Amino acid sequence: MQFIFYRRLNEIAILKGAQTLQEEKNEVLYQKILGELLEQSYHLKLGQDLFKMYLCFLVANDENAFSLTAEKEGEGMDDNLKALVLKDLTTLIQLFHSQVITLSVKNQEKTESYYKLYEALEKEPSPESFLHTLIAYYKQYGCGNMNRYKAFKWQQDKGLIGISECDPITLKELIGCNYQKEALIKNTENFLQGKPANNALLFGDSGTGKSSMVKALLNAYYDQGIRIIDLSKADFMYFNRILPLLRNRGLHYIIFLDDLSFEEFETEYKYMKALIEGGVEVKPNNVLIYATSNRRHLIRETWEERQGQDIHITDTRQEKLSLSDRFGLSLTFTSPAQNAYLEIVTALAAQYGVDIDANRLREKAIQWELAHGGRSGRVAKQFIQSLL
């Protein structure tokens, strides 16, 4: 059996061994393949029938002409492409049900998106039926590393690198910032639906939920096609290398610029300004920028700069101070008043199952914020966690 579109699978030792075992019994080969499968399942956190789940993992993470087209176009892809991939799907279904290697592990969570492929293949579908399942799957979850990871960081020598462990925070945990949350949710949903959406700047006091809100959006909308590209200022000069990697994909990307600010001598802001305003290379429609900052004006202006000799001082100052105005959506996050802070504490106590008298909880919460530098959602959460 040879795959055409999924030709990388032809070189996978476990699959090659499984195909050999279909033709002849070989105990030495069986034990070798079993050991490799156990090792892969440990690193990939696979559960259920390990061989079947490993096969689904490979299919989910394979980038080829079919999977990439399905991710971007869905059922709108060319019918000839659909017909050509049926041979691969026939081979895949046969291999899935070969029962050459049977080993199950029950202690792994069914959290990976490719478990959906496992469930679909367990029903022994026809190649034609599974074709539509697979197209819908790639359209929803993407393929390759974009399927495997929710978020990415940039490394100059390696490109986009998947982040294995993302913050699991949910939107429900963000209390006391409903206006900001609803506004950013609406903007994100517009983005996903192909409606007009704005780059967003979340600015304000430390610990008030700016970064957490972006991370929570990722967890809420991952299965609708949102991915995050987490960049630092040092990465801005590589926008021209990053954007082509995203432009022709079927998913939606939020470039996340956390804790963003510039000193007066830093010039990286020019790369970001060009990206937002549109330089020679236009920002793709499937890319937005969400930035967080502790200050409204992203570029620090010094007194010396105000008194400087630049004959175009007004233009220079305007260029720097107007950077934040380039974001179509600006949301302010402020430290809560004491009553609002105590409401956050009470709500978090309920979420975390903290059993304590209400008056005692309020008293201890006030003591905590006095000892920890003020009131914020972060301080409230740290207080509740100290009670667990």
pLDDT on residue 327: 86
Give alpha helix (H) positions in 233-268. 239-247
User: Domain 160-170+178-333 adopts which CATH fold?
Assistant: Rossmann fold (3.40.50)
Written as one letter, the residue type at 67 is: S
pLDDT on residue 100: 84
Query: Is residue 258 within 8 Å of residue 289, measured between CB atoms?
Result: no
Query: Is residue 245 within 8 Å of residue 68, measured between CB atoms?
Result: no
Residue-wise burial string across 56-82, b where 16 or more C-beta atoms lie within 10 A, e elsewhere: bbbbbbbebebbbbbbbeeeebeeeeb
Query: Is residue 137 within 8 Å of residue 116, measured between CB atoms?
Result: yes
pLDDT on residue 315: 53
| End-to-end C-alpha distance for the chain, whole angstroms | 56
CA 50, CA 164: separation in Å to the nearest integer? 21
Query: Is residue 38 within 8 Å of residue 100, measured between CB atoms?
Result: no
pLDDT on residue 300: 60
CA 200, CA 198: separation in Å to the nearest integer? 6
Q: Are strands 48-49 and 159-163 parallel, antiparallel or unpaired?
A: unpaired
Average pLDDT per block of 10 residues along the chain, 388 residues long: 93 90 87 90 85 94 98 97 97 92 70 85 96 97 96 95 94 92 98 95 89 96 97 89 95 94 69 70 88 74 50 52 77 90 91 90 91 88 90
Spatial neighbors of 301 by CB under 8 A, at least 6 apart, are: 264, 317, 320, 321
For residue 269, give the nearest of 298, 304, 239, 303 by alpha carbon: 298
